[in-house]
Structure 1
Amino acid sequence: MSADTDTTQHDDQGPDDQAPQEPGSSTASPVEQDSEVGVESGSARPSGRLEQLEQEGDIAADYLEELLDIADLDGDLDMDVEGDRAAVSIVGAELQQLVGRNGEVLEALQELTRLAVYRETGERSRLMLDVSGFRAARRATLEELAAETVTRVRESGAPVSLDPMSPFERKVVHDAIAEAGLSSESEGVEPRRYVVVLPQ
């Protein structure tokens, strides 16, 4: 299989495969290589791993709290562990500037937060950052899109290509397509990498 094509079984390498890189590095960043293959939320994890993820959340929260102070923004920080990654959410009003167009600022902020964690721990991080429920709302929209696309593919019997998406968005679509019983693959090169839904 070519380097620019991946399936839900053989997807993009994620930050699991290498440590976050300093800005300007020739190696792809954690955001660009975010994994499209997830870990089941109910998966058992060793207590040591749980402590590590909680530590990542604490480090991320400290970093983000300082950033909010510098930017003179008000927001509450919620920390959790989802599956095999730490999850941090910034909740508050008037935080759209931390999301940006199509979540571009949020993706960049997530990368910087992962880098802050790496600098403290020396361990690569798959931490997920959300702002004011943007990812949750986007997930619902993408799952609806996936359901509509499954119907189109089944009716036409032909592959359907979706618009370019971020790694997070592609993973949501891949998961929804697989749950519906079809297969999908990612094609193209970042930042215009997209999902193709395949007929059975």
Structure 2
Amino acid sequence: MEQEGDIAADYIEEFLDICDLDGDIDIDAHNGRAYLSVNASDGDNLRVLSKPETVNALQELTRLAVQNKTGSFSRLILDIGGSRNVRENELAALVSRAAERIEGGAAEASLPPMSSYERKLVHDLVAARGYKSVSQGEGRDRHTVITAI
């Protein structure tokens, strides 16, 4: 896990240098994953990189760089400028709206397609609210469906 984090940090540091952006990189590991957080004292510095689509794309590139060096699949999670917390709050709001639809009489509520990591977060949020969730669909169309228990 430590080697994966170091390789990923080197890759991100090089990327930031190419983009002429400043950022501090923190490496952590838990739940069998390496977590990289990139932050800057000037929050605006990383704003363009902290958009969810950009973070996901850069995370995939970083995973590929790690896999290329180690020969093993990487489950690395990347956070840029607090983007993961922002996304977790957005997902919590989606789950709340879905729960309201179910409480209003809907048999189920489908959420938009999202990454496996985001679906995992949604499943945890749904369970905490006392509902049931399953993932459906394939590939880019994979999404979460929420139902009452």
- Deviation (angstroms), 1:199: 2.2
2:126 equivalent to 1:164: no
Report the count of equivalent residues: 146
Match of 2:33 among 61, 67, 85: 85
Work out the CA distance in 1 between the residues paired with 2:49 and 2:93.
Answer: 25
Matching of residues 1-200 of structure 1 within 5 Å? 53-92=1-40, 93=43, 94-100=45-51, 103-156=52-105, 158-200=107-149
- The one-character-per-residue Cα deviations of 1:106-160 (angstroms, maximum 9, x if unpaired) are 1111111111111221111111001001111211231233234224313415111
Q: Which amino acid aligns with 1:57?
A: G
- Name the structure with the higher strand share: 2
Partner in structure 2 of residue 9 of structure 1: none
Q: Which amino acid aligns with 2:109?
A: V
Work out the CA distance in 2 between the residues paired with 1:84 and 1:67.
Answer: 25
Q: Is the 8 A contact 1:157 1:199 kept in 2?
A: no
- Deviation (angstroms), 1:184: 1.2
Runs of 4+ more than 3 Å apart: none
Normalised by the size of structure 2, how large is the TM-score? Answer: 0.86
Q: Which runs of 5+ in 1 are unaligned?
A: 1-52
Normalised by the size of structure 1, how large is the TM-score? Answer: 0.66
Q: Is the 8 A contact 1:80 1:88 kept in 2?
A: yes
Work out the CA distance in 2 between the residues paired with 1:157 and 1:164.
Answer: 20
CA-based RMSD:
1.8
Q: Higher relative CO (CA 8 A, sep ≥ 6), structure 1 or 2?
A: 1
SS at match of 1:118: helix
Q: Which runs of 5+ in 2 are unaligned?
A: none
Taking only the aligned residue pairs, the percentage that are identical comes to: 48
Work out the CA distance in 2 between the residues paired with 1:107 and 1:90.
Answer: 14
- Name the structure with the higher helix share: 2
Q: Is the 8 A contact 1:147 1:176 kept in 2?
A: no
SS at match of 2:34: strand
SS at match of 1:191: helix
- The one-character-per-residue Cα deviations of 1:171-200 (angstroms, maximum 9, x if unpaired) are 211111122222112233443432211122
